[in-house]
Amino acid sequence: MLKVAQPSPGEGDDRLLAEAAAGDAAAFGCLVRQHEAMVFSLARRFLGDDSAAEDLAQEVFLELHQHLADLQSAAHVKFWLRRVTANRCIDRRRRRSWQFERTVDVPREPAIAPVTPDFLLETRVRGLVDRLPARARIVVVLRYQEDLDPAEIAVLLGIPVNTVKSHLRRSLASLRSQLRVEGR
Amino acid sequence: MSLEDDLRKALRRKAPPEGFAERVVARVVLPPAAGSLARRRQGRSPLVRALAVAAALVITAAAASYYRHQVVQLDGERAARELRIALQIASEKLALVERRVNRDDDTKASTREVPR
Amino acid sequence: MSTWMRGLLCCAVVLWMPALASAQGARLQLDKLARLNAQASEVTDITLDPAMLQLAGNFLSDPNGGPGLKELLSGLKGVYVKTYKFDRADAYTPADVEGVRSQLTGNWVRLVSTQTKKEDGREIVEVYSWREGERMGGLAILVAEPRELTVVNIVGPIDLNRLAGLQGQLGIPNVPIK
């Protein structure tokens, strides 16, 4: 069980945690609502579809429910959820890696117009992030989805901060070069 | 816009399907064992019982009101349902587009605007 | 009718035509697909004109509790969806697809086009945007799978990102796409 001291945020959130830990299902429901988008989005980024992401997110929250008494503050809950979700995603991805669908032939069409609508650019960026190695990907997702700085990511994943920076540097260089090749 | 901004936009959070929190809470609290449910009922105070009755009355009244609302405005509900289905189909097909666009490099299709 | 009245009428028609073309241009004529009704095992046919959209808007709640869905739909002039599912692979013809495609010219700009070989045929996925200058005034999605044909036509400005983000958010079970 994680025992990482975190700064205490608003008193209301801490009270919610205390009530949930005391067995108040409604308070636990509020906790779930507070963090569902974060947990679901992390899982979605790794597993690729809503259904698998919801399964994993539900498992994470059920595990949270079992460990509520061990968590000391609302910030600690957030930290715990991010850490457990990240680890579960990496584990699940390793188990599933052999299942990933291979591709079929599609004729490449020439790129003519330079304008790429946001939807397509974002789709491409997400697709390239999805192809990063698992550890690099979780670092990138925590950095740009969760807006954590490298030091926070290092603590979360239990790896040296220089390793985080190295993952970020290499991933950005890789993404940049691939987008450039594709005529971004 | 920089790559970092693009990443922030592309990786912004997405809300889970509707009712997610309710499903999680349901898995936490259900199914209660029959025995423990009975014990819990016996142990409830009069205040809790009164609140439960009041809540039941409120729910019943709300359900009746909702039923009347449904009967009177059936057309609107149907239109909204059809719109939801239409948007769901549209978003599913866009998800299919995303999957097709994001296949491995050697097999992907055009992702640029192509004047017709 | 006097000459000057005929002239006035002509001027009015000339001035009115571009607006009419813009409003109707993004709307596809999908009536010819009706012949597939008899062959399909499952048909979804949704036609929501401006009046129905306004009515539907009064009964919609945003899945995330905010004004997002209504905001997404504001300004739309029509939503038309046709989905045909078949028991066999050759139930519709290339001409059925071409009948839709042939309308996607002029202000329609193709955003995405993919073709994929599948076990029992080919899958074609195409997305088009109706452009009015710098504005997006409509959307068309054409998905032709061996056993399913889908055409989505949205008339009016629509945010693609937000539309894509609605998947699984509307209280309708999310269908995984193979």
Question: What tens digit of pLDDT does each residue of C8-51 get?
Answer: 554 444 444 444 444 468 999 998 898 898 888 888 999 998 88
Subunits adjacent to chain B (3 or more Cβ pairs under 8 Å) = A, C
DSSP H or E stretch at residue C122: strand C121-132
Q: What is the pLDDT of residue A110?
A: 34
Q: Beta strand C78-85 with C121-132: parallel, antiparallel or unpaired?
A: unpaired
User: How far from the centroid of its chain's Cα atoms is residue C51's Cα?
Assistant: 17
Residue A178 has pLDDT above 50, yes or no: yes
d(CA B27, CA A58): 9
- Averaged confidence pLDDT in chain B: 72
B76:C44 CB<8 A: no
What one-character DSSP code corresponds to residue B43? Answer: T
| A52 interaction partners in chain B (CB closer than 8 Å) | none
Q: What is the pLDDT of residue B67?
A: 55
d(CA A34, CA A26): 12
DSSP H or E stretch at residue A31: helix A25-47
C143 near A CB under 8 A: no
B116 near A CB under 8 A: no
Which of A160, A138, A154, A126 has its CA nearest to residue A88?
A: A138
C14 near A CB under 8 A: no
Which distant-in-sequence residues (6+ apart) come within 8 Å of C10 by Cβ? none
C2 near A CB under 8 A: no
**When comparing pLDDT for B56 and A107, which is higher?**
B56
**pTM confidence score:** 0.53
Question: Could you write out the DSSP letters of every residue in A115-173?
Answer: ---HHHHHHHHHHHHHTS-HHHHHHHHHHHTS---HHHHHHHHTS-HHHHHHHHHHHHH
B99:C81 CB<8 A: no
Maximal C-alpha separation, chain A:
62
User: In Å, how far is A103's CA from the nearest CA of chain B?
Assistant: 6
d(CA A16, CA A24): 9
In chain B, what percentage of residues exceed pLDDT 90? 1
Which amino acid, one-letter code, is at A16? L
d(CA C117, CA A164): 41
d(CA A61, CA B14): 17
Question: What tens digit of pLDDT does each residue of A46-102 get?
Answer: 887 788 899 999 999 999 999 998 888 888 999 999 999 998 888 776 665 444 333
The residues in B 30-59 lying below 8 A from A, measured between CB atoms, are none
B13 near A CB under 8 A: yes
C74 near B CB under 8 A: no
Does this complex have an ipTM over 0.90?
no
**Exposed, middle or buried, C136 (CB in 10 Å: 0-12/13-18/19+)?**
buried
Residue B71 has pLDDT above 70, yes or no: no
Q: What is the pLDDT of residue A100?
A: 37
Tokens of A23: 């067995």
| A119 interaction partners in chain C (CB closer than 8 Å) | 111, 160-161, 164
**When comparing pLDDT for B32 and A102, which is higher?**
B32
Tokens of C124: 């074609």
Question: Could you write out the DSSP letters of every residue in A77-89?
Answer: HHHHHHHHHHHHH
Q: What is the pLDDT of residue B79?
A: 84
Low-confidence residues of chain C, pLDDT below 50? 10-23, 65-66, 173-178
| A53 interaction partners in chain B (CB closer than 8 Å) | 16
User: In Å, how far is C25's CA from the nearest CA of chain A?
Assistant: 21
